[in-house]
C-alpha cells in the first residue's frame, strides 16, 4: 500500500478538457494531469501554480513514444495555498575525483542567501507565514490529526473502474452498490450451486457488474447492502458476455471467497447514488421482449390493490401490484411491481396516489402485454419522488400542463408492422377455424397466437396457447389465455383495412 503524498504544482496549463502540470516534492519532478472532474477546482482558484496538494487517488500511465511515466490525479486535497518560488542555481563545484555534487538546502527560519550556496531546485516560502515547513512535515502533521478511518482511506491506492482490465495485477476499487440481485440456485452437469450479482458504481459514474458463486455468494450476500460504499480488492475480470451484461462496461468482475470487501462508511458522499438512463415511454417499442432492461421515470396515474399470483414453475404464490405511469410524451404504461416491491413501495404509492407522485424505476423488463408493459425484476430499484433534475422537470411539466392533458396508452393500436418493433394483440392474429382445422396444432409444443372473439361461457375454476390434453380418454385441444385486452375499435378498423389491402394485392 502507498500513503498519500504531498506535491508542489508547477507549470500548470490547460491540456484539452483538463490541466497538466509538473508535480514536485522539492527534489524530483514528474509529469502529471488532473482528472477532468477537478477542473472546477482549478477554475475557482482553489488549485493554482505553486499550491501544495495532498494526492489521495491516482493512476500511473506510460507514454510509449517517450518511455516516460506520468500521473493521472483523480482525487486530491489542497494542503497549502500559493507559495512564492525562489530558484537558485547550483554554484558549488567539488574536486574532480568526487565529481559534481549538490548540497541540500538548509531548513532554517531565517536564512542569509548571501552566505549559503544551495542546490538547484525549488524552495517554497509560504506567503504570510513566519515558519516554513516542508511538504513532508505538513502531510505528517495533518495525517496524525485524522480519524483512524480517514487515515486508512489515505493509505489505499484506489483505481477508477475505467482503468481496470483482465491483465492487471493487484487493484483496489471504491464503489457503491447501486443494484443487488437475489440469491439464485442452479443445477448443471457439474452439480448444484448458488449465485448472485451486484452492480457497482465508482466516483466517476462508471459501472461494472460483479458476480459471486457458491462459497463467495454465501460469504458476501449479507455483507453487500444496497446503497452502501465498499473497498473491493482481489477480484478477477473478464470480457463481458454481451448477451447477459446489464451495464455499459466491456468487462465483468468475479469475486471469490478470497476477495476482500470492506465497507467505507466515512466516504460515501464521494460516490454517486443510483445512476439512471431513462427511456421515454413512447420509445419503449424496440425493447419489447428483448434482453435489454430499461429505466423509466413518470407520474403515477393509478395504483391497483395487491394481487396474489401463483407461479407455474414451483406453484408458489407471489404478490403483484400494477401502477400506471405517464411522462412528457403524453403516453402511459402499466408497470407491474412484484414480490416485496408490491407490498412495500407499492403500498407507499397507493397511500399517496392522490398526490400524483413521481416514480423512478431502474432495470425493468419490457413485455408485450396490452401492447407494451413493464415488469420489475429482483434487481429493480424503485425511488419515490427522487431528488434528481429529471424528477423536478417532470413535476413542473405535470403541474403546469400535464394534469390537464389527455393521455393515451403507449401500446394502444400497436401493430406488428410498426417501426417501433413492438408486438401487441394484433401479432399473429388467427381465427378459431385455424385452430379447429389443425388437430395436431400444439401436439409437440405450445403454439402462441392472438385472437379476437366473444366470450360465450365461463366455467368456474377453469384455468391462449394450444396444447394437447386428454378428456375422458379423448384428445382435445385446450386454449390457455395468457392476457386479455379491451377492443380498440380505431385500431381494429386499421387492422381490417390492412387485411383488405393484402387480400386485394393477392388477387
Cell of 482: 395468457
Nearest partner of 281 among 328, 317, 240, judged by Cα: 328
Measured distance CA(225)–CA(204) in Å, rounded: 20
pLDDT at residue number 237:
93
Q: List 33's β-bridge partners, or say none.
A: 20, 72
Note the pLDDT of residue 51.
83
Architecture, CATH, for domain 161-270: Beta Barrel (2.40)
- Class for the domain spanning 281-409: mainly beta
**Which pLDDT score, from 0 to 100, does residue 86 have?**
41
pLDDT at residue 432 is higher than 80: no
How much is the average pLDDT of 27-43? 81
- Name the band, by pLDDT with cuts 50, 70 and 90, for residue 120: very low
Each residue's pLDDT tens digit, 437-462: 777 776 666 666 677 776 777 666 55
Q: Is the pTM of this model over 0.85?
A: no
| pLDDT higher than threshold 60 for residue 153 | no
State the DSSP code for 230: E
Residue 171: name the closest of 161, 186, 181 by CA.
161
d(CA 360, CA 384): 7
Mean pLDDT, residues 213-230 taken together: 92
What per-residue confidence (pLDDT) applies to 480?
66
Higher pLDDT, 244 or 293: 293
CA distance 94 to 88: 18
CA distances for 132 relative to 22, 103, 137, 463, angstroms: 22, 19, 10, 86
Q: pLDDT confidence of 502, banded at 50, 70, 90? A: confident
pLDDT-derived band at 332, boundaries 50, 70, 90 = very high
Cβ-defined contacts of 40-44 (< 8 Å, 24+) = 41/78, 42/12
Average pLDDT of the residues in 306-310: 88
Three-state DSSP class for residue 231: strand
Q: How far apart are CA 488 and CA 174, in angstroms?
A: 52
Listed residue (208, 206, 204, 270) closest to 37, CA to CA: 204
Mention every residue, 6+ apart, whose C-beta is less than 8 A from residue 353: 300, 302, 303
8 Å CB contact between 382 and 358:
no
pLDDT computed for residue 300 by the predictor: 96
In this prediction, residues 412-425 reach a mean pLDDT of 48
Cβ neighbors of 133 (< 8 A, separation 6 or more) are 126, 141
Cβ within 8 Å of residue 150, ≥6 positions away: 266
Rounded distance, CA 292 to CA 464, Å?
26
pLDDT score at 255: 95
C-alpha cell at 438: 389443425
Q: Which of 286-295, 460-469, 491-500 has the weakest average pLDDT?
A: 460-469
Residue 59's SS3 state is strand
For residue 489, the Cα-to-chain-centroid distance in whole angstroms is 42
Most confident among 67-76, 224-233, 463-472 (mean pLDDT): 224-233
CA 131 vs CA 25, 52, 79, 137: distances in Å: 19, 16, 16, 12
Residue spans per domain, the chain: 1-91+102-155, 161-270, 281-409, 432-480
Mean pLDDT of 423-428: 52
Cβ-proximal residues to 258 (8 Å cutoff; 6+ apart), any chain:
234
Cβ-contact 63, 137 below 8 angstroms = no
The answer to whether residues 379 and 180 touch, using CB atoms and an 8 Å cutoff, is: yes
251-264, pLDDT tens digit by residue? 999 999 999 999 98
Please tell us whether the domain made up of 1-91+102-155 is placed in CATH 2.40.50.140.
yes
Q: Which residues of 128-159 are buried (b: 16+ CB within 10 A; e: fewer)?
A: eeeeebebeebbeeebeeeeeeeebbbebbbb
Using left for φ > 0, alpha for ψ between -120 and 50, and beta otherwise, residue 141 falls in alpha
DSSP 3: -
CA 197 to chain centre: 13
The dihedrals phi and psi of 502, each to the nearest 5 degrees, come to -65, -40
End-to-end, the C-alpha distance of the chain in Å comes to 80
Across 317-327, average pLDDT:
93
pLDDT (mean) for 145-163: 63
For residue 389, give the C-alpha cell: 433534475
Q: What is the DSSP letter of 103?
A: P
| pLDDT band per the 50, 70, 90 thresholds, residue 481 | low
From residue 237, alpha-carbon distances to 163, 182, 211 in Å are 12, 22, 10
DSSP 444: S
pLDDT at 459: 66
pLDDT band, very low/low/confident/very high, at 331 (cuts 50, 70, 90)? very high
pLDDT exceeds cutoff 80 at 164: yes
Q: In angstroms, rounded to a whole number, what is the distance separating the alpha carbons of residues 496 and 304?
A: 34
| HSE toward the beta carbon, residue 315, CA cutoff 13 A | 0
Contact by Cβ (8 Å): 328, 394: yes
Matching CATH topology for 1-91+102-155 and 161-270?
yes
Q: Residue 467 pairs with which residues in a beta bridge? A: 478
- 502 membership: H or E segment, kind and range: helix 489-506
* Mean pLDDT over each residue of the chain, to the nearest integer: 76
Amino acid at each position: 500500500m502507498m500513503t498519500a503524498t504531498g506535491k508542489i504544482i508547477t507549470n500548470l496549463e490547460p491540456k484539452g478538457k483538463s490541466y497538466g502540470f509538473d508535480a514536485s516534492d522539492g527534489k524530483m519532478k514528474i509529469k502529471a494531469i488532473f482528472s477532468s472532474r477537478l477542473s472546477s477546482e482549478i477554475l475557482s482558484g482553489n488549485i493554482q501554480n505553486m499550491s501544495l496538494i495532498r494526492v489521495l487517488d491516482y493512476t500511473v500511465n506510460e507514454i510509449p513514444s517517450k518511455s516516460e511515466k506520468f500521473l493521472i490525479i483523480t482525487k486530491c486535497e489542497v494542503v497549502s495555498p500559493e507559495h512564492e518560488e525562489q530558484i537558485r542555481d547550483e554554484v558549488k563545484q567539488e574536486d574532480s575525483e568526487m565529481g559534481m555534487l549538490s548540497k541540500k538546502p538548509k531548513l532554517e527560519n531565517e536564512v542569509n542567501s548571501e552566505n549559503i550556496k544551495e542546490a538547484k531546485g525549488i524552495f517554497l516560502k509560504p506567503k504570510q507565514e513566519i515558519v516554513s515547513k516542508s511538504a513532508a512535515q505538513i502531510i505528517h502533521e495533518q495525517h496524525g490529526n485524522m480519524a483512524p478511518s480517514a487515515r486508512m482511506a489515505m493509505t489505499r491506492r484506489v483505481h477508477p473502474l475505467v482503468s481496470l482490465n483482465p491483465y492487471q495485477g493487484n487493484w483496489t476499487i471504491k464503489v457503491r452498490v447501486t443494484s443487488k440481485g437475489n440469491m439464485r440456485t442452479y443445477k448443471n452437469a457439474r452439480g448444484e450451486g448458488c449465485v448472485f450479482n451486484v452492480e457497482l458504481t465508482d466516483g466517476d459514474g462508471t459501472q461494472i457488474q460483479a458476480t459471486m458463486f457458491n462459497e463467495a455468494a454465501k460469504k458476501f450476500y449479507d455483507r453487500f447492502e444496497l446503497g452502501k460504499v465498499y473497498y473491493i480488492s482481489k477480484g478477477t475480470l473478464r470480457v463481458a458476455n454481451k448477451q447477459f451484461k446489464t451495464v455499459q462496461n466491456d468487462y465483468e468482475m468475479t469475486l471469490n471467497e478470497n476477495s476482500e470487501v470492506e465497507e467505507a462508511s466515512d466516504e460515501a458522499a464521494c460516490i454517486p447514488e443510483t445512476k439512471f438512463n431513462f427511456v421515454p415511454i413512447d420509445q419503449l417499442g424496440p425493447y419489447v421482449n428483448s434482453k435489454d432492461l430499461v429505466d423509466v421515470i413518470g407520474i403515477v396515474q393509478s395504483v391497483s390493490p395487491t394481487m396474489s399470483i401463483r407461479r407455474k414453475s414451483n406453484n408458489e404464490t407471489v404478490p403483484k401490484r400494477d401502477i400506471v405511469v405517464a411522462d412528457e410524451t403524453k403516453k402511459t404504461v402499466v408497470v407491474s411491481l412484484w414480490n416485496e416491491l408490491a407490498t412495500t413501495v407499492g403500498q407507499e404509492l397507493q397511500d399517496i396516489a392522490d398526490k400524483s407522485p413521481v416514480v423512478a424505476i431502474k432495470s425493468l423488463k419490457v413485455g408485450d402485454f396490452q401492447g407494451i408493459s413493464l415488469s420489475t425484476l429482483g434487481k429493480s430499484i424503485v425511488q419515490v419522488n427522487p431528488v434528481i433534475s429529471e424528477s423536478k422537470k417532470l413535476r413542473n411539466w405535470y403541474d403546469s400542463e400535464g394534469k390537464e392533458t389527455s393521455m393515451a396508452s403507449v401500446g394502444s393500436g400497436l401493430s406488428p408492422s410498426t417501426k417501433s418493433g413492438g408486438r401487441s394483440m394484433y401479432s399473429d392474429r388467427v381465427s378459431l377455424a385455424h385452430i379447429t382445422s389443425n388437430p395436431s396444432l400444439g401436439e409437440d409444443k405450445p403454439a402462441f397466437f392472438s385472437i379476437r372473439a366473444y366470450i360465450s361461457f365461463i366455467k368456474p375454476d377453469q384455468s391462449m396457447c394450444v396444447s394437447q390434453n386428454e378428456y375422458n380418454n379423448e384428445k382435445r385441444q385446450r386454449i390457455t389465455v395468457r392476457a386479455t385486452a379491451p377492443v380498440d375499435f380505431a385500431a381494429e378498423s386499421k387492422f381490417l383495412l390492412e387485411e383488405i389491402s393484402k387480400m386485394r394485392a393477392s388477387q
